[in-house]
Amino acid sequence: MSWTPPGARERLALLKGSRSVAIVGASNNPARASFFVGTYLLSSSDLTVWFVNPREETVLGHQAYPDLASLPEPPDIVDVFRKPSDLPQVLDEAIAVSARTLWLQLGIEDAAIAEQASAEGMNVVMNRCIKIEHARFHGGLHLAGFDTGVISSRRGLG
């Protein structure tokens, strides 16, 4: 079995078919991408968001969990903000809780992890931001200064 990256339609289907996301490596530091992504998902999605970080008690006012096994129920998506050397442990935890999708944030890619997760029946998205993908499909790329990228044939007034 050879893993291939999901196209836009598949990523949209993954997001639409998911009810929950666990942000592994969540942080209370507003300068961290996981903080920004958590803020966005809480305010702009219908997803249940769980924060996973053994060093935090709460993140964005929500309980933080030490690991995926401590969550109230298995997450549909495990969104990873951890260094590449931590991926095998995160994948093992995701498999153990029967998560459906392993989502590696921007800058995180590991072909061996993708192959292993895929062999376990998991969907895998790598090197993509779940916030950007959600916003792209739900008309929110204008938030926080992102250009919507909308191309129109309408002529300007002028």
Q: Across residues 99-117, what is the average pLDDT?
A: 96
pLDDT given for residue 145 in this prediction: 45
Whether the predicted pLDDT of 58 surpasses 60: yes
Check if the beta carbon of residue 21 is closer than 8 Å to that of residue 34.
no
Evaluate if residue 150 carries a pLDDT over 60. Answer: no
The yes-or-no verdict on residue 70 having pLDDT over 90 is yes
- Asked whether residue 152 is domain-assigned, the answer is no
Task: Tell me if 148 is assigned to some domain.
Answer: no
Average pLDDT over residues 13-21: 96
The whole-number pLDDT of residue 151 equals 47
Would the pLDDT of 153 be above 90?
Answer: no
**Cβ density class 5-25: b for 16+ within 10 Å, e for less:** ebeeeebbebbeebebbbbbb
Domain containing 25 equals 12-140
- Residue 99 sits in a domain whose CATH number is 3.40.50.720
The predicted-structure confidence for 34-45, as pLDDT tens digits, reads as follows: 999 999 999 999
Number of domains in the chain: 1
Among candidate residues 115, 96, 9, 23, the one with its CA nearest the CA of residue 60: 23
Q: Which residues on adjacent β-strands are paired with residue 80?
A: 24, 104
- Reading the block at residue 121, the tokens are 């029946």
